[in-house]
Structure 1
Amino acid sequence: ILDSFRSSLAPEKTQASGTSTRRVKITHLDQLDHLAARQFRATQAPTISVSGRSLPLIYKVISTLVSPPHSMALFVLDLDGRFDATRLACTDDDLQHVYVQQPPYDESSSTNIELIRSLIADAERSMVYEGASAVSLSREFWGSIVLGGLGAGDLVAGWKGWLHVERDHVAEYSMRVTMEDAFERRSDRQEVVDTAGWAAASPWGKFTFDD
């Protein structure tokens, strides 16, 4: 298990032609993994990059990875301070295998790729060699998730990404509904909007999911 942590820190291997041999990480969300595989075949870019209202999908991915039957550990670099661990659908025992770092806010951090890579490497090295994650040594290390940054990490959520997340579409009122009726029903409609699922769309396909 320790070797699986250490291998994640090894320099990225390349073929003789210079093409990276790194592959997209499996999230165990079948629809997301299908799109990520199609995107990788088309672009050779291994990062799962998410834009829009990305946090619900991030929470779902993390909850899936750290919970049985996968029971992995992972690192979250939260550059914009929006990560809320209470939104994760996992037990407290599984939650302790989610390692979160929130550096002091700096406007340039989200675009400084070398800084992000350095923060990820330092955190992962600390987890392996300094005993910071001794409780997780029996688990496979999945990788790193970056919130609010671009260009580094296995899964990245930022302003730019090939997978865009928004609330799933809610049908509009019929043209026959009067303004008065619409006003009276506004609370019911808001409830429908709030409980609607999420839609994730990309040039390679789309899928919907619930919180």
Structure 2
Amino acid sequence: MQRNTAAAGVGARVLGEIEETTLDEVLASLRATFPTTTTKDTTTTITDAATTTTSANPPLTQPKTFPLPALNALVHRHFRATHCAPLSLTGRHRELLYPLIATLIAPPHNQAVSIVDFEGRFDPVRLLSTPPFPVEGIPGYALRRADLLHVHVLRPPPRGPPGHVAAQVAQMEGYMLYGAHASRGREWWGTVVIGGGTEPAGGVGAGGAAQVAVTADWRGWMRVERVWVRGFGEVGVEEALEGREGREREVEQGRWVGVSPWGSVGFGGVGGGGWLMVGDGVKYLKEM
């Protein structure tokens, strides 16, 4: 009995020395103890005996840099309004994807691009016949056949268990960072996810979500459409024949427009330059 009384006294003294606190105070103490992670861009370098792979791995809260100035401005405009980084395409999305990827892998950018294609319809060979977006001060550059080695395409099954899209994106990330491929000496620009369905591609780990730069599916915040070509109207036969050549030329030039609530970007045609529609007017950001 005496031993129990002594133990109880020791327990009482211990409890008396414990400072009462709240959960908020504990969290505040932890924040003060461990510094907050900064949001600066980081670069991860993996080195082995022969090669080096460099991957620009921005934080989740920053969009990628796009090689078409007008498109880049629009993506950042959307990001400031929604805090959602990826470019999300719908409609005729391949008409923008092909010149975008061709520009990224060709000189002077010389980057690598990974594609997770759930639709199985992306054709890398088509890049050879796709003019890249022009670069100011570098006239006449073009895609080389060897540049196709730096387009890495994964074609997983279109359907799978919950988390299927995230798992495939994570698999591609691991391959790009640690796999034995031809792009070990290039910077990895990011991942394009085609046909991911309703599952968000960003639902992967921090690295994989940061690398998803573009999604393309049946829904998205930017719809890619062909620029409307004026019809004949009420004109005579001779006038229609005179104007036919000009309309056919406009169609062949392949002018396209990406339309969104935050503005519209046009591309293609002669020179392939882009413009950004802002509010009630058209602001030409770059004429090339």
Cα distance, 1:66–1:113 mapped onto 2, change above 3 Å: farther
Name the structure 2 match of 1:159: 218
Structure 1 residue 177: deviation in Å?
Answer: 4.6
Name the structure 1 match of 2:116: 77
Name the structure 2 match of 1:101: 154
TM-score by length of 1: 0.79
Structure 1 residue 44: deviation in Å?
Answer: 0.2
CA distance in 2 between partners of 1:49 and 1:113 (Å): 21
Structure 1 residue 169: deviation in Å?
Answer: 1.1
1:139 and 2:196 correspond: no
Q: Structure 1 residue aligned with 2:97, among 58, 62, 71?
A: 58
Name the structure 2 match of 1:129: 178
Q: Give the unaligned 5+ runs of structure 1.
A: 14-20
CA distance in 1 between partners of 2:240 and 2:195 (Å): 38
The structure having more radius of gyration, on CA atoms, is: 2
Q: Which runs of 4+ in 1 moved over 6 A?
A: 185-188
Question: Residue 170 of structure 1 contacts residue 196 of structure 1 at CA under 8 Å; is this kept in 2?
Answer: no
CA distance in 2 between partners of 1:200 and 1:33 (Å): 12
CA distance in 2 between partners of 1:130 and 1:82 (Å): 24
CA distance in 2 between partners of 1:74 and 1:113 (Å): 26
Name the structure 2 match of 1:116: 165
The letter of the residue matching 1:137 is: R
User: Higher relative CO (CA 8 A, sep ≥ 6), structure 1 or 2?
Assistant: 1
Cα distance, 1:28–1:192 mapped onto 2, change above 3 Å: closer
Name the structure 1 match of 2:259: 201
Q: Structure 1 residue aligned with 2:196, among 130, 149, 155?
A: 149
Aligned with 1:154: secondary structure? Answer: strand
Aligned with 2:189: secondary structure? Answer: strand
Structure 1 residue 60: deviation in Å?
Answer: 1.1
CA distance in 1 between partners of 2:118 and 2:244 (Å): 36
Question: Residue 77 of structure 1 contacts residue 100 of structure 1 at CA under 8 Å; is this kept in 2?
Answer: yes
Greater mean alpha carbon deviation, residues 164-173 or residues 144-153: 144-153
CA distance in 2 between partners of 1:73 and 1:186 (Å): 42
Cα distance, 1:113–1:50 mapped onto 2, change above 3 Å: farther
Q: Give the unaligned 5+ runs of structure 2.
A: 1-44, 47-52, 131-142, 202-211, 273-288
Structure 1 residue 190: deviation in Å?
Answer: 5.9
* RMSD value, Cα: 2.9
TM-score by length of 2: 0.59
Cα distance, 1:102–1:177 mapped onto 2, change above 3 Å: farther
Aligned with 2:165: secondary structure? Answer: helix
Aligned with 1:65: secondary structure? Answer: helix
Aligned with 2:163: secondary structure? Answer: helix
The share of aligned pairs that are identical, in percent, is 35
Structure 1 residue 130: deviation in Å?
Answer: 3.3
Aligned with 2:108: secondary structure? Answer: coil
Q: Structure 2 residue aligned with 1:23, among 39, 62, 74?
A: 62
Name the structure 1 match of 2:13: none
Structure 1 residue 175: deviation in Å?
Answer: 1.8
Number of residue-to-residue matches in the alignment: 193
1:47 and 2:86 correspond: yes
Residues 100-153 of structure 1 show CA distances to partners (whole Å, capped at 9, x for unaligned) of: 11123x3x45xx77211211111221232232x2x2111111110011125213
Question: Residue 61 of structure 2 contacts residue 83 of structure 2 at CA under 8 Å; is this kept in 1?
Answer: no
Greater mean alpha carbon deviation, residues 37-46 or residues 65-74: 65-74
